Amino acid sequence: MDEIEIMSLKKVTNEKGFLMEVQRNDDAEFPGFGQAYITATNPGVIKAWYRHRKQIDQITLIRGELLLVLYDTRENSISFNQIKEIYIVEKDPLLVQIPPGVWHGFKTLSNDPAILLHMNNIAYDFENKDEDRLLPNDKTIPYKWERKL
């Protein structure tokens, strides 16, 4: 999908646990820093749909299993009107970078809550929200949320 970056993350594991570097300011894909936060989404819960006008969203899974879905409504994009599904699991960590103008949402597929790290290049502004929202079943997005393996 046009301008979507998906970076595999390296997880270094030893007898004490693991270290996973998510992003560095010298990474080629580093969009700048505005805000970082963690969310937990219960099993089977769908959080959708979101779209930003300026903000670049970055999402990585810390724990669980997740289906992230993107829908591109940017008229000048080569992936205009395309859907992309990205399955993310703990053992194969990814960082997904979502540009402004792309609708996105996710569903927890694991039996425990999915723990996500969100990193945005712009801090959330409660006075001037840079976010459009739709309900998960909104017909303007041609996608049906079903459990997929």
| The CATH fold of domain 5-133 | Jelly Rolls (2.60.120)
Q: What is the arithmetic mean of pLDDT over 42-46?
A: 96
Give yes or no for residue 67 having a pLDDT over 90: yes
The answer to whether the CB of 86 falls within 8 A of the CB of 96 is yes
Q: What is the pLDDT of residues 75-105, one digit of tens each?
A: 999 999 999 999 999 999 999 999 999 999 9
Q: What is the arithmetic mean of pLDDT over 60-84?
A: 96
Q: What is the pLDDT of residues 103-142, one digit of tens each?
A: 999 999 999 999 999 999 999 898 999 999 999 999 999 9
Rounded distance between C-alpha atoms, residue 36 and residue 19, angstroms: 18
Statement: the pTM of the whole predicted model exceeds 0.75: yes
The ranges assigned to domains in the chain are 5-133
